[in-house]
């Protein structure tokens, strides 16, 4: 029993240290809040409650870069569903921000959702036809699609 408790304690400490480490990469309290909200509560909760949670904290949704940074960090951590949730919210809130659409497309690619990824990259290319990141993304998303 002691061994199980010790193992559980170590796992909790490792998880919490990972959250603290990841939080330290963000400059603003809002970014830390978004990261923790989606990571601890999950993508579904985030999608349904982010605006309410932001309002409850007194934060204003006025900085697309926060969502880009958090989405990229989650994507790097292979937290794909969480990354998609953050980028989806970002593209709904700031539909003209290319970096959000590229990030969403790459997260969909990471998940294996090539059709959804391709749609995101097509949005980018309509807005910025020379965008290399989107061109590369379209190529990757098109492999294996008919």
Residue pLDDT, tens place only, 69-82:
999 999 999 999 99
pLDDT of the residue at 25: 72
**CA 130 to each of CA 55, 101, 116, 119, 121: distance values in angstroms, whole numbers, following the listed order:** 38, 15, 20, 16, 12
Q: What is the DSSP letter of 129?
A: T
pLDDT > 50? residue 20: no
- Please state the pTM of the whole predicted model: 0.82
Full set of structural domains in the chain with CATH = 25-142 (1.25.40.10)
Is the pLDDT at 21 greater than 50, yes or no?
no
pLDDT at 136: 96
3-state secondary structure of 68: helix
Q: Taking all residues of the chain, what is their mean pLDDT, rounded to a whole number? A: 87
More confidently predicted of 44 and 16: 44
| Exposure b/e, 18-34, CB count within 10 A at least 16 = b | eeeebbeebeeebbbbb
* Closest by Cα among 68, 116, 118 to 93: 68
């Amino acid at each position: 029993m002691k061994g199980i408790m010790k193992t559980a304690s170590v796992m909790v400490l490792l998880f919490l240290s990972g959250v603290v480490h990841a939080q330290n990469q963000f400059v603003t309290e809002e970014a830390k809040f978004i990261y923790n909200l989606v990571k601890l509560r999950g993508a579904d909760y985030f999608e349904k409650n982010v605006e309410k949670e932001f309002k409850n904290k007194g934060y204003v949704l006025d900085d697309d870069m926060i969502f880009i940074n958090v989405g990229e960090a989650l994507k790097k951590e292979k937290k794909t569903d969480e990354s998609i949730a953050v980028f989806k919210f970002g593209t709904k809130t700031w539909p003209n921000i290319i970096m959000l659409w590229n990030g969403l497309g790459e997260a969909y690619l990471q998940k294996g959702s090539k059709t959804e990824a391709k749609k995101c990259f097509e949005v980018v290319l309509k807005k910025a036809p020379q965008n290399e990141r989107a061109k590369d993304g379209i190529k990757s998303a098109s492999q294996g699609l008919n």
